[in-house]
């Protein structure tokens, strides 16, 4: 099938590439000329495991094209996806300006019937706004062309996006026209062979499903961080508690890891946007507001542990100290630093007068873009280089390569021989046996050490 995709970011590029991989003819449109030029030359703007060879192969095979020209892409697409960003507005609601700009563009150029698919995460009612925007442009042109607007929210996980796209758990299709559902079923048939993953529903339910999924996962994380904060105070170890509750199949093992808070482009903005939607409809979403508040507090927790450590002794506190920071991306296997807890930690360390030496396996270029050059920030080539001249280590992203460091080398290198583990990836006994002081999240023994 012929497909056009607006937005060549984490969602649009992965979706377009996976659709091309199964034989569809895909044109990806973006307004970012540099990004489009780069993609045409095989330069992938994001880090996503497995993506680069697929983009190159499908581009070379002529099934995946990149352009800034909306008109030709719309002329190409039987199915036109909207996969542009929906960042938070000032009041936390989803900013629909990019989605509606694409809708107007579609209306200005549509020349044959098409199914318009909303893949961006958008508040309930957005499909109606997209439909109205397209219809208004068609009316202004004085033409009548049949089109459908379908909600098809995306559930891929950054860091695992290609696998999620090639083997989706479910394909939610919200539509009010069975013909449009049939078109999407044909499009997704190659991903849907061994069992039916399509969940059909009405448009509004599909829009809400995406927010409900993210809000549920964010709730699990904030719940666990809440329990971790209790564990820290009562002298319990959250990691033992996690083992104790995860084995209950009603609770399960996923998303019950305590840590430095969730970040990324989805959970923070989607939880806020859903709470905002609720408020706009006269409902105060107390739980969602609490989930976000707990997460906001948690992002500052590692720094609290750092302060607590340094305020205990005769030291002058954090001022003048140098911290090695391992990890900057909001989670492993991505270079995405949107709303990453590392950003809060670095801001707090700088505010307190510390210098940081940072290393992330994939997010260094993004870090340079986000932070720029500054005297109290040193970009390092390796994790061990970040330790040189540092007093302490803070781990904030649980990349696999950080999991088994040479603790003796850490002990020798770090001036104050202390590790702040924002993801609980180390065994406190092992690290303390190496002569290092250890702080984790919710590991009560840290407070009582």
Burial of 391 (0-12, 13-18, 19+ CB in 10 A): buried
Q: What is the dihedral of CA 199, 212, 224, 276, to 10 degrees?
A: 170
Q: How far is the CB of 81 from ligand NAD (least distance, A)?
A: 10
φ and ψ of 359, to 5 deg: -145, 135
Contacting positions for ligand NAD (CB under 6 A)? 6-12, 29-32, 35, 83-86, 98, 101-102, 120-121, 154, 156, 158, 265-266
Q: Which residue is nearest to ligand NAD (CB)?
A: 9
Nearer to ligand NAD, 30 or 398 (CB): 30
Nearer to ligand NAD, 83 or 436 (CB): 83
Nearer to ligand NAD, 81 or 420 (CB): 81
Nearer to ligand NAD, 81 or 439 (CB): 81
Q: How far is the CB of 51 from ligand NAD (least distance, A)?
A: 12
In whole angstroms, how large is the CA radius of gyration of the chain? 24
Work out whether strand 114-118 and strand 79-82 pair parallel, antiparallel, or are unpaired: parallel
CA 334-338-339 angle, 5° bins: 120
Q: Which residues are catalytic?
A: 266
Q: How far is the CB of 408 from ligand NAD (least distance, A)?
A: 38
Q: How far is the CB of 68 from ligand NAD (least distance, A)?
A: 8
Nearer to ligand NAD, 172 or 175 (CB): 172
Q: How far is the CB of 348 from ligand NAD (least distance, A)?
A: 26
Q: What is the largest CA-CA distance in the chain?
A: 78
């Amino acid at each position: 099938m012929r497909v056009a995709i607006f937005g060549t970011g984490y969602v649009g590029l992965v979706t377009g590439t996976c659709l091309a991989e199964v034989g569809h003819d895909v044109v990806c449109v973006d307004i970012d000329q540099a990004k489009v030029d780069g993609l045409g030359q095989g330069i992938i703007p994001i880090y996503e495991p497995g993506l680069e060879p697929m983009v190159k192969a499908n581009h070379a095979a002529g099934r995946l094209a990149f352009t800034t020209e909306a008109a030709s892409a719309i002329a190409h697409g039987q199915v036109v996806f909207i996969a542009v960003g929906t960042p938070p507005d000032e009041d936390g609601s989803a900013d629909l300006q990019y989605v509606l700009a694409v809708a107007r563009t579609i209306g200005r150029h549509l020349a044959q019937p098409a199914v318009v698919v909303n893949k961006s995460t958008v508040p309930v009612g957005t499909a109606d706004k997209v439909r109205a925007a397209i219809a208004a442009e068609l009316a202004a042109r004085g033409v009548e062309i049949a089109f459908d607007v379908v909600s098809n929210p995306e559930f891929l996980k950054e860091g695992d996006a290609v696998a999620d796209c090639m083997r989706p758990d479910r394909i939610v299709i919200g539509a009010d026209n069975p013909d449009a559902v049939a078109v999407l079923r044909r499009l997704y048939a190659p991903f849907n062979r061994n069992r039916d993953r399509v969940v059909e529903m009405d448009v509004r339910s599909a829009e809400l499903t995406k927010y409900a999924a993210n809000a549920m996962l964010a709730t699990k994380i904030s719940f666990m961080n809440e329990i971790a904060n209790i564990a820290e105070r009562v002298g319990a170890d959250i990691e033992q508690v996690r083992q104790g509750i995860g084995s209950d199949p009603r609770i399960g093992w996923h998303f019950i890891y305590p840590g430095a808070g969730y970040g990324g482009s989805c959970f923070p903005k989607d939880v806020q946007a859903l709470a905002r939607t609720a408020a706009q409809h006269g409902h105060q979403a107390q739980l969602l507001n609490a989930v976000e508040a707990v997460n906001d507090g948690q992002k500052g927790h590692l720094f609290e542990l750092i302060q607590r450590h340094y305020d205990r002794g005769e030291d002058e506190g954090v001022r003048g100290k140098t911290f090695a920071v391992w990890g900057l991306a909001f989670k492993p296997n991505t270079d995405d630093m949107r709303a990453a807890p590392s950003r809060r930690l670095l801001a707090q360390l700088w505010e307190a007068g510390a210098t940081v030496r940072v290393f992330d396996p994939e997010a260094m270029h993004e870090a340079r873009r986000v932070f720029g050059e500054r005297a109290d920030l040193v970009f390092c080539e390796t994790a061990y280089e970040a330790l040189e001249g540092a007093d302490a280590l803070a781990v904030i992203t649980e990349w696999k390569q950080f999991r088994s460091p040479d603790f003796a080398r850490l002990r020798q290198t770090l001036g104050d021989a202390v590790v702040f583990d924002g993801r609980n990836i180390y065994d406190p006994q092992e690290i303390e046996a190496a002569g290092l002081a250890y702080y984790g999240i919710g590991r009560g023994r840290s407070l009582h050490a």
